[in-house]
Structure 1
Amino acid sequence: MKKNTEIIGQLNELLADFQIFYQNLRGFHWNIQGKNFFELHAKFEELYVDAAAKVDEIAERILTISGTPMHGFQDYLDTAEIVPVKNVHDDETAVKTIISNLEKIIEKERDIKELAGSVDDSGTEDQMSAFIEEQEKTLWMYKAWLK
């Protein structure tokens, strides 16, 4: 039971990070300016739609393993490692923030995957594997955009 509680706690931390990441992405989508506006406005929307889906999947996984997903904004702010940003209008700052946020999220997902594997929680392990695979590709693409 201790390991289940630990996984639930780590999933709630990931949930908090995704909520802040989601809100950062919404702000980038709304506020981006400059010559890359059309390209990034659309890309940021793709990212926040995906983040919203992952928020739901993480919360449902927490419920599936008999936990309670946190759901208060103050809880997210108090728990998340991702830092809220605001008033970002330039493309490079937005993309660098996305890269930094994704690196933190992937690191946390790897930790959860390892813990889940150690306690035979294949559902959580599989979920984290799928998230990591997709996000590593996204990370590569945004890093390539910066070059």
Structure 2
Amino acid sequence: MVHFKIIGGEIEPTIEMSTSELVFDLKSKIEDELEVEVHRQNLWYKGIEMEGETRIGFYALLGDEREIFIVTLVVDLLPPDLKLHVLVKFLGRGSEGYVRVRETDTVSDLRGKVSRYWGIPVDSFILRRLNVEMVNDRPLHAYYINEASEIHLSVNIQPR
């Protein structure tokens, strides 16, 4: 078994694979974890693009003695005019709603839309995607936002 740490965005999962599995299988696990379709994924290891029909063991042989292999995920962007519907769940309030965004919009753009949707001040809440706090100046694609992606909103209550 080998462990791959997937880098390239703000969310960096580690995925365990058997050396007999294919790179396509790794891409399928990435799709399960990050909700990025296999056909949009490009995986790079040590400057080499990983081919879908190649066994994981081939790349493990190129590795050093580390237990975790660092793989860079590059996602093909969607057309810039395509708008996505993301599901924002307001934790603790039990409400949710869809917001339309482009994957090239920033988290700050999304925060503005969420603020208008629920009528809460922009600086009083936190957005999280896959348990990672979203940072204002980052593009949404850094958090692997896709159609119907789920984002959690929680109010940041400051003590008086």
Q: State the TM-score bracket (shorter-chain normalisation).
A: under 0.3
| Larger fraction in helix | 1
Q: Which is higher, the Rg of structure 1 or of structure 2?
A: 2
Answer 1 or 2: higher relative contact order, Cα 8 Å, separation at least 6. 1
